[in-house]
Amino acid sequence: MNIFSRYLIRHLFIGYFAAALLLVPLFTLFDFISELEDVSTTYSWGQALLVVVYLIPRCLVNLSPFIALLGGIVGLGNMSKNMELTAIRCAGFSIFRIAIVVLISGMMFTASLAVIDEWVASPLQQQAQLRKETALADSQDSDSNTKTIWGQQGQEFVRIDHLDQNGQPQNIEIFDYNSDLTLKNYLFAESAAYGENNTWILHNVKHTQWQGDRQSTSQQATMDWPSIFNSNNLKQLQLSTESYSIPQLKSYIHYLKDTAQPSMEYRSALWQKLGRPILVLAMVLLIIPFTFVNARDAGMGNRLSLGVIVGLVTYIIYQICINLGLIFAIPPLIAVVVPPILMLVTSMVLVYRFNKKK
């Protein structure tokens, strides 16, 4: 890598850093305002602030396509304004070679974001969500519907209303169906404690059985139940899918498949780990058309405004594709990865056309 390449990459990363300093605090403020809506007697504004601080790395990762595009426009735009790009091109650098250097900087940026996502953003986001759930566990103002956990294994379905502050299941319902989908057994337990060998000890159990037309009901103080959940750490099941690391997603997807449960949402989250970096690279290559479309223009206001619009539209379209994939059960590879690839191909075509024209 020669001196011109290093000089370009340095300016690009200065632009990425400047864009991150602008966007991340702004969106973090929005997150804090949103968190204040959940503040209650058990969830103070100080805890809300701490949760938002924990979510800063996740915010950085989610905004990475915006940061790549706007930061690149700022970095190369300043060089264009100071006639440095003209001097570099006079030294023998074509637009294509500049695009290659820009793509290398994008790969470096993407690699650093992948490290942050896997080992910083995901663990901190999980801690933030667990802190919030723990604080809201006994709050009268919290919405218990958001804490409901469902599970299935064969013909057995389990519903857990919520977890207490210690992570113990509360108000457990167990439905056991026959092969013809008629209800065979119904259990309701006020609470449960974790036992050995993945066995739960149900407390204050009401047991209803059906045999033909006969129904019998009994009550027991305690009952052992072989849990269908593969882990006693149920709090992890309340976490958002984007907070899972790649090994966690793979492990949970494997568990869902083994228990015949739908795993589309988690498979989509796993493929987004690949789709987002490709989208970042597409945004990085779009820097070239934005920079060389009017190289003599000293101002960058129009470029940045157009960059914001392009970045916002791209983000909305990508989210629409992801959600449509979930709604219509489109394979995640198509719904999550193909749109960024198409965007990357479009960016490469634009770079090729600008290289031919200039």
Give, as one character, the DSSP assignment of residue 189. Answer: E
Cβ pair 314, 253 in contact under 8 A: no
Distance CA 181, CA 261 (A): 17
Q: Does 237 score more than 90 pLDDT? A: no
- Cβ neighbours of 132 (radius 10 Å): 19
Angle between helices 264-285 and 338-357 (to 10 degrees): 10
Residue 212's pLDDT band, with cuts at 50, 70 and 90, is confident
Q: State pLDDT tens for residues 335-358.
A: 999 999 999 999 999 999 988 876
Residue 41's pLDDT band, with cuts at 50, 70 and 90, is confident
Mean pLDDT within 174-203: 93
- Specify the pLDDT at position 144: 46
The CA radius of gyration of the chain, in Å to the nearest whole number, is 26
Q: Does 252 score more than 80 pLDDT? A: yes
- Specify the pLDDT at position 145: 43
Distance CA 89, CA 95 (A): 8
- Specify the pLDDT at position 146: 52
Residue 61's pLDDT band, with cuts at 50, 70 and 90, is very high
Residue 112's pLDDT band, with cuts at 50, 70 and 90, is very high
The least confident of 36-45, 59-68, 319-328 is 36-45
- Specify the pLDDT at position 297: 52
Q: Does 313 score more than 70 pLDDT? A: yes
Q: Does 332 score more than 50 pLDDT? A: yes
pTM, two decimal places: 0.88
More reliable by pLDDT, 196 or 121: 121
Distance CA 253, CA 261 (A): 9
Distance CA 321, CA 337 (A): 10
Q: State pLDDT tens for residues 62-71.
A: 999 999 999 9
The least confident of 162-166, 265-269, 332-336 is 162-166
* Helix, strand, coil percent values for the chain (each to nearest 5): 65, 15, 20
Mean pLDDT for all residues in the chain: 90
Angle 255-257-262 from CA coordinates, rounded to 5°: 110
- Specify the pLDDT at position 229: 86
The letter for the amino acid at 100 is I
Q: State pLDDT tens for residues 129-186.
A: 988 988 887 665 545 445 688 888 888 999 999 888 788 899 999 999 998 889 999 9
